[in-house]
Every structure is written in structure tokens, then in C-alpha cells.
Amino acid sequence: MEELSQPIELRSVVLDCIDIRALSAFYVKLLRWEKTYEDKEWIDIQSPRGGTKLSFQRDPDYVPPAWPDAPPGQQQMLHLDFVLPTDVAMDQVVAHAVACGAKKAEVQYDKRWTVMLDPAGHPFCFLGS
């Protein structure tokens, strides 16, 4: 097998959803990121500091994942982990997320992180710094 001469870079993590404008607006408000691209089917947002983008792809047949996993329902394929700023407490960031439109998941597995659900049902976690 031939080795690659350069590492492969991650451009974006893509979330499927029905309403890309609503879900991207939620994450712009939650993360304080900026919209960098938009068309009818796709939106990119990115931290003002750069880095990997979070993208939203329109899927009219999107079905939210179950949290926690509950076969035979739609299973989560991934979740996002966000690290809290050093000067922000977990209860503050959870309150901010709820004010932006997220829900705190009913099932929590560990006190070191908090599982949230975005408005389209994708799970994401806040991790203490």
C-alpha cells in the first residue's frame, strides 16, 4: 500500500436536517460562529478563529435519531462534543443552549459532560474544560 505524502484534512462535519436555515441559525447563536456559505441545499458555518466547518445539508426525509439509542428507531451516527470556555460554568452554557432552542437530554450518563439535543434532534455534549 502506498503511503500518502500529506495528511488528509477534515473540511467539515455535516448535519442532515429538513430546515437548514433554522438549524444553522441555532448553531450560529449557540457557538457564536459565522455563516460562511449558503445555497438552497447547503449552509456552512465556522468559528471566527477558523478550523473545521459545521455544515448543514437539506434532507426532506430526515428522521431525528433516538437518544439514548432505542432500536429499532433511527440510531445516532455521531454526536458533537464542545469544550466549555474556561470561565463558563456548565449550568451557564446549558442555560444558554436552552435559550437558543436546545433541550437537555433526559438521560445523562456522566457528571463530566452534559448531553443536549439540538432543535432537529441531533445529540451534542458540553465537556468541562
Pick the range with the lowest mean pLDDT from 90-99, 100-109, 120-129: 120-129
Q: What pLDDT does residue 129 have? A: 66
What φ, ψ does residue 30 adopt, rounded to 5°?
A: -60, -50
68 domain-assigned: no
Percent of the chain with pLDDT over 70: 98
pLDDT of residue 85: 87
Domain of residue 86, residue span: 78-129
In this structure, are 14 and 51 located in the same domain?
A: yes
**Model pTM?**
0.91
Per-residue pLDDT, 96: 97
> Does residue 72 lie in a domain region?
no
The count of structural domains within the chain is 2
pLDDT digits (tens, 9 = 90+) for 40-78: 999 999 999 999 999 999 999 999 988 887 777 767 778
Phi and psi for 91 in degrees, rounded to 5?
A: -65, -30
In sequence order, the β-bridge partners of residue 56 are 15, 43
Question: What CATH number does the domain containing 100 carry?
Answer: 3.10.180.10
Query: Same domain, yes or no, for 43 and 86?
Result: no
Q: Do residues 84 and 124 share a domain?
A: yes
User: Is position 4 within any domain?
Assistant: no
Residue 66 lies in a domain: no
Q: Within a domain: residue 115?
A: yes
pLDDT at position 13 is 97
